[in-house]
């Protein structure tokens, strides 16, 4: 819960700064985003059919800080999420946890193409467990900076409008960090046992787009990240694909549905018996109803 509070305070500060900035100071900037708090709660009293009380809350924040002047384009994205679920008398369990930062600098080669460099960073805030609801099976399998991913790349960016970008890089360095000693000693997330970092070199692509009012009061956004390690099994492309639907009820109430599919060839599947197998596609779906606030452009 303390992580959720810290994120909320940070986001509130950034929102106030965005609102109070003078027009002259941001004349070349486009600043905007959306923050939301979704929740659900079930309370049972003498319920004949059985069941358990449950509650859940998820905080999401997505914002962009984009600079454009003459031939220069500099796009920055912050994507944060943290959620908790509690069922019955069990401990709180996280249901969402992400930190995703992207910075892309471009110089115009033509009206729609830009010579570009990109840096992104992904990690999580809190520990993750194999089965957090079972004390006997509660095994930590991830933590802050374990893993963390950074891509540094050079390429070309195709931007026919402010709502679509297709960035292609033939020169990409991918760094995987596992700062936790237990996980690094186990060789988690593709690092060599005992190492805290893995380096890969290859090619990547990042495609993103959004459309407001695809149908009335429904906005959609999508992001697809691809990476191929050209030095080892280049055919096994890492994939991170997310699609988000925002449903507006009124100026404060909204609903959100998101779908995320991840495939990383270095993250092997471990079954309940602890047997390590091949990598598998990972899926996550989120649906929530609650408060939402949209600011900027």
pTM across the whole model: 0.86
pLDDT at 244 over 60: yes
* Calpha distance 135→56 (Å, rounded): 21
Alpha carbon distance 258, 288 (integer Å):
9
Average pLDDT, the chain: 87
Q: What is the domain class of 2-296 according to CATH?
A: mainly beta
Average pLDDT (149-178) is 97
Where is pLDDT greater, at 158 or 131?
158
Give the model confidence (pLDDT) of 36-51 as tens digits: 999 888 888 878 878 8
pLDDT of res. 80: 97
Where does the chain have alpha helices with state H? Answer: 2-20, 181-185
Query: What pLDDT digit, counting tens, does each position of 76-103 carry?
Result: 999 999 999 988 878 888 999 999 999 9
- Phi-psi label, residue 177: left if phi above 0, alpha if psi -120 to 50, beta otherwise: beta
pLDDT at 66 over 60: yes
Residue 273: its pLDDT value, please? Answer: 61
**pLDDT of 21 higher than 50:** no
- The CA–CA distances, whole Å, from 76 to 27, 45, 88, 100, 270 equal 16, 48, 41, 11, 36
pLDDT given for residue 45 in this prediction: 83
The set of long-range contacts for 168-171, using a CB threshold of 8 Å and a minimum separation of 24, is: 168/204, 168/205, 169/118, 169/203, 169/204, 169/205, 170/203, 171/203
CA 162, 225, 158, 154 torsion-angle sign: positive
Domain ranges of the chain: 2-296
| Per-residue pLDDT at 136 | 55
Write the pLDDT tens digit of every residue in 97-143: 999 999 999 999 999 999 999 999 999 999 998 776 666 557 888 99
pLDDT at 195 over 80: yes
Whether residue 19 is predicted with pLDDT greater than 50 in this model: the reply is no
């Amino acid at each position: 819960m303390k992580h959720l509070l810290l994120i909320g305070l940070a986001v509130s500060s950034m929102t106030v700064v965005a609102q109070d900035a003078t027009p002259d100071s941001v004349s070349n900037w486009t600043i905007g985003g959306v923050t939301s708090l979704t929740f659900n709660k079930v309370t049972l009293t003498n319920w004949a059919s059985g069941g358990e009380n449950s509650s859940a809350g998820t905080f999401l924040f997505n914002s962009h800080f984009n600079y454009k002047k003459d031939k220069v384009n500099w796009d920055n994205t912050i994507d944060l999420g943290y959620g908790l679920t509690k069922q019955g008398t069990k401990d709180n369990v996280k249901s969402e946890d992400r930190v995703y930062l992207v910075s892309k600098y471009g110089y115009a080669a033509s009206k729609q193409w830009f010579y570009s460099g990109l840096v992104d960073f992904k990690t999580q805030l809190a520990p993750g467990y194999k089965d957090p609801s079972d004390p006997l099976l509660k095994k930590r399998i991830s933590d802050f900076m374990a893993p963390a991913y950074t891509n540094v790349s050079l390429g070309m960016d195709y931007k026919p409008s402010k709502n679509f970008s297709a960035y292609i890089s033939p020169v990409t360095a991918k760094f995987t960090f596992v700062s936790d000693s237990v996980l690094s000693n186990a060789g988690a997330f593709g690092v060599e046992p005992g190492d805290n970092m893995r380096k890969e070199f290859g090619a990547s692509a990042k495609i993103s787009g959004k459309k407001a009012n695809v149908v009335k009061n429904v906005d959609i956004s999508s992001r697809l990240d691809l990476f191929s390690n050209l030095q080892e099994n280049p055919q096994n492309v890492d994939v991170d694909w997310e699609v988000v639907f925002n449903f507006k009820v009124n100026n404060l109430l909204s609903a959100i549905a998101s779908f995320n599919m991840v495939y990383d060839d270095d993250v092997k599947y471990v079954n309940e018996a602890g047997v390590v197998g091949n990598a598998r596609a990972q899926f996550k779906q989120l649906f929530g109803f609650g408060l939402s606030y949209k600011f900027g452009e």
